[in-house]
Every structure is written in structure tokens, then in C-alpha cells.
Amino acid sequence: MNHPLVSVGMPVFNGEKWIRRALDSLLNQDYPNIELIISDNASTDSTSAICSEYVASEKNVRVVSQEHALGIVGNFKAVLHEAKGKYFMWAAVDDSWDCAFISRLVEKMESNERFAVAQSGALNLAESDLNIKINYVRFQGRNNPEKCSKLRLTNKIVSPMKYNLFMYGLFRKELLIEAFAFFPGVSSSDRWFLLQFPLAGYKFGYVDAPLYIRTIRDTPVYLRYQNDAYSEQVRYVEKKWFDFGALPAVKKMLNESTLTAECGNRIKNLVLFQVALGRIKLGLRLMIKYLILKSLSEKTSLRIIRKVRNISFD
């Protein structure tokens, strides 16, 4: 197999608790051609000092220090535009990866030029104890994206299933840059953003192995990133069972994206209907969960919430 350059972009803000674990995991990959780019989003903790240690000892690590906070979306964009590789992946500072994660995904991407992105199964661990396995998210059988038609894949992306995890997969960089120019910037943007690829005729590759190791945080994103425009969108939506506020942003993305320019209005309208139906399904799920938990003790409710927060629908 050839070893094209893979750019790994880590947008970080105040990540001192997790960043050594994440960086060590990425530097321990068995893939031989990686550049690791960290965009420090004006952190106020020891993140900058830790990053400087790695830059001094690892020749393939570099840091871009932002003088002023760019926000979550701005920092994701900043690290992407620093990338030089054929392939690119975002790396969350609180996650880790099996040593074969990148090599297996590069192999998958090289096998089919129509794959826009590839991802593996994901093992979810509890923040309070990384030895506690919450669940294992897989995309098997009829849920395998490689077996999905264009509209079947868009329907799965907008459903409550965890296809949003492909946001942290391995992308073709130039294709990703083109798509990210139309990032919608509303709650659940990772899902809406991914819609561009199947509508442009691209497919998702999948490796059925637990190579991506996620940390499920106890604190929601809007508390970890206060006063951030995107996290405020998340805060607003999480107070509602049924939210259709994303529809105008998704419509704008589909109409303006250069990737979906050849896609007819009938298909775009059908995808918008899928988005609305997906929001209804999610709202019903949240409402039923609330009614069940309301009838239980507080201690029992909290235990169940932790178990089902990232439930897999495979």
C-alpha cells in the first residue's frame, strides 16, 4: 500500500486534562506518514506549554496558537486549512485511537476513489472512569453505509443513529475543504454537513472494528464552551423536544454548496423532508425517555441517562 500524507488536525481549548493521552495515541499510530497540527484556541490553562513539549520532541507535530478565540467552528476550519496531506481527520482532544486507526482507514480510502470519508466502529468510555465501557457503536448489515444508496444514506445521516461519528473519520482533504465552505453552523451541524457527500455521489467507507475510542463527557458542550455561538445553539435546542430550526440552514447549504449543484430540487426537497422527519423521531424519543425517567427515582434516572445518552441504533 502507498502511504500518502495524512494530516491530523486537533482543535483545542483548555485541554490540559486530556491532551497528552490524545497526542500519545496519535503518535503511536502504525501509519508512517502523518503530520499532526494543533490549533490552540487561546487556551488559558497549560495546554500551550504541553504542546510546546511535543513540538520540541516530535518533528511531525506543529502548533498554531490563536491570539483570540475563534469559536468551535472557526477553530475546526483553522486547523483544516493548515493541512498539507491527501487525507485529513479531526481529532478531539478528549478521544484516543487504536494504533491501526489511520492505517486501516487509509487502506479503505485507497480502495475506492468514491469514498469521501471512512470511519471505524466507536468504543464509548465514561469520563469518570475510562475503564467503564458504555457501548460499542457499529454499522453492520443494512446499516453499513457502503451498502446504502444515496437517499438511504442521507436518511440514516439525519436519523438519531450515530452517523455523525463520520465527522471524525478520515476525509479526502480537498473534497472536505470544498464542503466545509458551506458548513451550516447550527445545532447538529455535523449531521447536516455530511449530507453534501452522498448528494454529490460520494460514499462512506466503514471498517467494522472498535478503532475509535471516544470519551463521553459528563458536562455538555455548552457548559464547556460558554459564550460560543455554536454551543449556544446547542444549549437552545437541548431545551426542546421538537426543533426544526435547522431546516433553513440545511436548505441554504444544499442550495449553495458546489458539491450539490447538480442535485435536482426534487432530491433536495426530499432530503429536507428526511431532516424534518428525523427531528420528529428524535423528539418522540426524548419525550418518551423523559416520561419514563420522571416516574423513576433521581438516582435511577441518572444511571439510565448515562447508559442511553449515546445509545447505538444498529
Instruction: Give pLDDT, residue 300.
Output: 60
Gap between the Cα atoms of 118 and 192, Å rounded: 17
The Cβ-side half-sphere exposure at 255, using a 13 Å CA radius, reads 8
* The three three-digit cell numbers of residue 103, written as one number: 492505517
* The three three-digit cell numbers of residue 66, written as one number: 490563536
Gap between the Cα atoms of 88 and 21, Å rounded: 20
Handedness of CA 162, 168, 170, 175 (dihedral sign): positive
Average pLDDT over residues 13-24: 96
Quickly state the pLDDT bin for 311 (edges 50, 70, 90). Answer: very low
Instruction: Give pLDDT, residue 173.
Output: 98
Quickly state the pLDDT bin for 25 (edges 50, 70, 90). Answer: very high
Taking the CA atoms of residue 62, residue 7, residue 84 and residue 164 in that order, the dihedral angle to the nearest 10 degrees is -120
- Quick: pLDDT tens for 164-208: 999 999 999 999 999 999 999 888 899 999 999 999 999 999 999
Instruction: Give pLDDT, residue 218.
Output: 75
Single out the residue of 132, 152, 131 nearest to residue 143, CA to CA.
152
Gap between the Cα atoms of 278 and 285, Å rounded: 11
Quickly state the pLDDT bin for 313 (edges 50, 70, 90). Answer: very low
Instruction: Give pLDDT, residue 2.
Output: 82
Instruction: Check residues 127 and 79 and name the one with the higher pLDDT.
Output: 79
Give the amino acid at 97: W
Please determine, looking at this structure, whether the domain spanning 1-92 carries the CATH number 3.90.550.10. yes
Handedness of CA 111, 119, 38, 64 (dihedral sign): positive
- Residue pair 182/200 in contact by the 8 Å Cβ criterion: no
Question: pTM for the full model?
Answer: 0.86
Is the per-residue pLDDT at 306 higher than 90? no
Give the mean pLDDT of the chain. 88
Average pLDDT over residues 119-143: 93
* pLDDT > 90: percent of the chain: 70
- Residue pair 170/118 in contact by the 8 Å Cβ criterion: yes
Is the per-residue pLDDT at 314 higher than 50? no
Convert the chain into a string of H (helix), E (strand) and C (coil).
CCCCCEEEEEEECCCCCCHHHHHHHHHCCCCCCEEEEEEECCCCCCHHHHHHHHHHHCCCEEEEECCCCCHHHHHHHHHHCCCCCCEEEECCCCCEECCCHHHHHHHHHHCCCCEEEEEEEEEEEECCEEEEEEEEECCCHHHCHHHCCHHHHHHHHCCCCHHHHHHHCEEEHHHHHHHHCCCCCCCCHHHHHHCHHHHCCCEEEEEEEEEEEEEECCCCHHHHCCCCHHHHHHHHHHCCCCCCCCHHHHHHHHHHCCCCCCCCHHHHHHHHHHHHHHHHHHHHHHHHHHHHHHCCCHHHHHHHHHHHCCCCCC
Instruction: Give pLDDT, residue 279.
Output: 80
Instruction: Give pLDDT, residue 312.
Output: 41
Gap between the Cα atoms of 162 and 314, Å rounded: 9
> Which residues have a Cβ under 8 Å from the Cβ of 292 and sit 6 or more positions away?
304
The Cβ-side half-sphere exposure at 234, using a 13 Å CA radius, reads 19
- Quick: pLDDT tens for 46-68: 999 999 999 999 999 999 999 88
Is the per-residue pLDDT at 152 higher than 70? yes
- Quick: pLDDT tens for 266-305: 999 999 999 988 888 777 777 777 677 666 655 565 565 5
Quickly state the pLDDT bin for 222 (edges 50, 70, 90). Answer: low
- Residue pair 154/166 in contact by the 8 Å Cβ criterion: no
- Quick: pLDDT tens for 235-269: 545 556 567 778 999 999 999 999 999 999 999 99
Instruction: Give pLDDT, residue 234.
Output: 56
Query: For the chain, what are the domain ranges?
Result: 1-92, 95-308
